[in-house]
A and B are shown apart, each in its own frame.
Chain A
Amino acid sequence: MKKTLMSLIGSLCILIALAVYQYVVFHDGKLHVVVCDVGQGDGIYIRSPDGSDILVDSGPDSAILSCLSRHMPFWDRVIDIAIITNADLDHYGGFIEVLKNYAVKEFVTTDIGKNDKMFDNLIKEVVLRRISTRVMWSDDILRDKKIQLVSLWPTQESLSLVNSQPVKGRAVLGSRTVNSLNPYSLVLALTYGSFDVLLTGDIQPPATDELALRIGGGEIEVLKVPHHGSKNGLTKKLLEVTSPELAIISAGRKNKFGHPAQQTLQLLKDFSVPLLRTDQRGDIEVVSDGKTWIVRP
C-alpha cells in the first residue's frame, strides 16, 4: 500500500515537471510545421506562434494521432481548424480518429467531396458533433493573429468547366463530386513573416501548371511536393515559379504505388532542391520565427 502511494506521489511530481517542461517547449512563440509520418498519405500539423492548432489532412488512419501526441502538449485536446485538401482516404481517413480524441472547432474543405461510405462516416461524425464547416476556394483566407493561410487552388471557374455531380443528401464537406479528385485538390500558402510554405495536396498536371501561373513568382522556403512525389504531381513550371529551399515528400515506406517516382526525384535534383522524405525520416518538423527557419533534428 505504502509502495503504491509512494509511486502515485512520484507520478504526480513527474507529471507536474512534465507539464512545466511541455508548456515552455510548446509556447516558444514560433511557427511549427510538422509533416507527419502517416504512412502513405498526407497529414500536416501546424502550431501557430500564438498556440492555435491547425491540421491539414490526417493520413489514412490513426497514425496521425501518434504524430499529434508527439507534437502537442499532453493536455491540449483542441484542434482549431481541420482542413481536408482532398476527399481521398489517404487525406481524410485519420480525421474519424481525430474526432474521437480531440475537439475540432472547424472543418474546412473545397465543395468537392466523395461519394463513398467512409467519407459519409466522417460527415456523420462532424454533423453529430455540430462542428462548423466552411467551403474554401482560391483566394479565400484563413488567419489567426500572426499567420496567414491563403487558398490558391481550386478556382470556382476550374470546377465549372467539368461535369460535377451533386452528392445526394450531402450538405457539408463537399456537396458535389467529380470523377478525378486530384486536379481539384486544395492548395494552401502558409505565411509567417517572410517564411512561406506551399502545401499542395494531391494536385496534378495540368492543374499544377495552372496553379504555377496563378502564383506567378516569388520564392518560398518549403514545398510539400504534390501527390506523395508521384510522377503526376510536381512540374518544372511549379519549381521555376516557387524556387523552394526545401522539398518534403510525404509517402509510406515500401508503398505499393512506388512513390516517390524517379522522375520527381530527378526533377528536384535538377533544380538542386534539398529533399526530405517521411518514409526515410519519420515526422519532419520545420520551425520558424518569421525570419529564419530550421528543420528540427
Chain B
Amino acid sequence: MNKPVVILMCAGLIAILALRFWSTYHKTSNYTNGQTVSFVTTITTTARVSGNFQKITVHPDPSTAIFITLPRDIELDYRKTVRISGTSLRSVLSNKKTILTMYLPKVEAVKRSNNLSDRLIQIPLIASRFVRTQVGLVFAKALPSDLASLLLGIVLGVKGNMSSGFSQALSRAGVTHVIAASGMNVVIVGGFLVSFFTIFFKRQPSLVFAIAGIVFYAFLAGMEPSIIRASIMGILVLASQIIGRQYLASYGLILAVYSMLFVQPVLIADIGFQLSVTATAGLLYIKPLLDRFMPKIPYLGEDLTTTLSAQVATLPILLTTFGSYSLGSILANLLVLWTVPILMAIGAAAAALTFFFQPLAVLVTYLSLPFLMYFERVVYVLSGLPALHIDSLPFISIVGYYLFVIALVVGFQKKPE
C-alpha cells in the first residue's frame, strides 16, 4: 500500500474515534452533591472487596463515573444490569481530586431483554464464576488467607479477600500489578493451551481452541481492562499464525487500544487501562534500548530491564494517581518477579486438579507456600521503605516527560541496515 493511502486511512480512523469520543463526552454530567439519584447501569468491572464492603466504579452515563460502596454480600457479576438508587456525594481524595461517590445505595437487579447475546454471555460467566469459587476454596484450604488471595491474584487476576494491611503493603512496595492478570498470564495460558491441544489436533484447530481458551481466561480474570488488552494482543498473535501473517506487537497494541476505546471511550480515564497500555508500550519500545545499553547483570538482567522499562513508562500515572512512588519498588519487583512464573505453574496445576481430585489439588497448592511466604516477607520489608511524595503533577510536565521519553526511544532506535 502506498504511503498517502496509509496516512489517509489512519486519519480516517482517528477521526472516527474522535467522533466516538465527542458523542460520549459532549454532554456534561448533571450530578451534584447531595442529589438523590436513581439510574440503570451495567457492571463492566470487578468489585474490590474490603472487609465487609465491596467497592466498584459504575457509569450512570458514559461521561460520569461514580465510586460506590456496598455490603459485600450483594452480587455484582460482570455484565449484570442493576438499578442503583441513593444520594450522590462529591468526595475529595487525598490527592485533591474530586470524585462522585455513593455510600450503601439501594441495588436492584434489572431483568434485561432476554436476547441471544445476553443468554450466550451467561455461559462463560457462570462457568468462570464456578471455576473461580472452586479454585478459591482449594487455595483457602491450603494457604493462609492473604497468601491464598495472592496466589489467586497471580493465577487468575482475582483480587479475592485480601486484608487491607497486606493490600496496602503490596501497593507501597509497587508490586500490585502481579495480582492483575495481564500479558504474562496470557502468554503462559496461550503457550500452554497451544502445546496441549497440538497433542490431540493439528496446528490450525489447536490455535483456534487456544484462542477460545484465552477468551475464557479473560472471563475468569474478571474482564478487567488489563486482561482485555492482553487477550486481544494474545489472540492477534495466534490469529496471525492461523492466517500465516507476520505479527507485529506494535500493531497489536494499537489495535487493542483502538478497539477498546471505540467500544468503551470512558476507559481512557481508567487507571488500570492507562497503566496496562503504557507498561506494554514501555516493554515494546524502552526495554530493547535498556537491553542494548545496560550492562548485563547475571540472574537479574531480564527482570531488571523489564521492571525499569515498565516503571519509566508508567511513572507519571503512578505519581498523579497515588501521589507517591515507592523507592523500594524496583528492588521489590526484582526480588519477587522470578517467583511469579513458578507460582503460576503451581497454581494452574492445582486449579486444574481441583476438578478431578481436590485432596491432590490441596497438596499441590502447599508447594506454593514457601514462595508465597518469601513474597509476603519481601513485600512487608520493602513496603516500609520511604516513598517519593508529590502533591500534584502539572499536566504540562507529564506531556514534557513523555515527549522526552519518546524522543529518546526514537533517537536511539536501531536504524535498519
Contact = CB atoms under 8 A, between A and B. Distances in A.
B52 A66 contact: no
A262 interface: no
12 contacts: A4-B341, A4-B345, A12-B367, A15-B366, A18-B373, A61-B51, A62-B145, A66-B146, A66-B166, A74-B143, A74-B144, A101-B141
A154 interface: no
Given A11-B367, A18-B369, A121-B73, A66 B51 contact: no
A286 B145 CA distance: 24
Contacts of A89: 52
A66 B144 CA distance: 7
B368 A100 contact: no
A219 interface: no
Interface in B357-382: 366-371, 373
A101 B140 contact: yes
A245 to B, nearest CB: 30
Interface in B37-78: 51-52, 71, 73
Interface in A81-126: 89, 93, 97, 100-101, 117-118, 121
A77 B52 contact: no
A11 B52 contact: no
A63 B367 contact: no
Contacts of A11: 367-371
Contact of B370 (A18, A62, A65, A117): A18
B165 interface: yes
Contact of A100 (B140, B147, B165): B140
B163 interface: yes
A62 B369 contact: no
Interface residues of B, number: 29
A69 B370 contact: no
Contacts of A8: 342, 346, 367
A60 B52 contact: yes
Contact of B161 (A70, A97, A117): A97
Contacts of A100: 137, 140
Contacts of A15: 366-367, 369-370
Contacts of A74: 143-144, 366, 369
B165 A66 contact: yes
Interface in A1-58: 4, 7-8, 10-12, 14-15, 18
Given A100-B140, A121-B73, A66 B369 contact: no
Of the listed residues A11, A60, A63, A77, the one surrounded by the most CB atoms of chain B closer than 10 A to its CB is A11
A97 B144 CA distance: 12
Contacts of A117: 71, 73
B144 A62 contact: no
A212 to B, nearest CB: 34
A17 to B, nearest CB: 9
A69 B146 contact: yes
Contacts of B52: 60-61, 89, 93, 118
B370 A14 contact: yes
A62 B164 CA distance: 9
Contacts of B163: 62-63, 65-66
Contacts of B165: 63, 66
A70 B380 CA distance: 14
A10 B338 CA distance: 15
Contact of B145 (A10, A60, A66, A121): A66
Contacts of A61: 51-52
Contacts of B148: 101
A49 to B, nearest CB: 24
A69 B369 contact: no
A102 B149 CA distance: 15
Nearest to A38: B163
A101 B145 contact: yes
B366 A69 contact: no
B342 A7 contact: yes
B176 to A, nearest CB: 18
A244 to B, nearest CB: 29
Contacts of B341: 4
A157 to B, nearest CB: 35
Of the listed residues B71, B145, B342, the one surrounded by the most CB atoms of chain A closer than 10 A to its CB is B145
Contacts of B145: 62, 65-66, 69, 97, 101
A296 to B, nearest CB: 19
A134 to B, nearest CB: 26
Contacts of A70: 144
B89 to A, nearest CB: 18
Contacts of B73: 117-118, 121
Nearest to B160: A62
Interface in B319-369: 341-342, 345-346, 366-369
Contacts of B373: 18
**Closest A-B pairs by Cβ, 6 of them:** A69-B144, A61-B51, A65-B145, A14-B370, A11-B370, A66-B163
Given A15-B370, A69-B144, A69-B146, A62 B161 contact: yes
A277 B148 CA distance: 29
A89 B71 CA distance: 13
Contacts of B144: 65-66, 68-70, 74
A74 B363 CA distance: 12
A66 B367 CA distance: 20
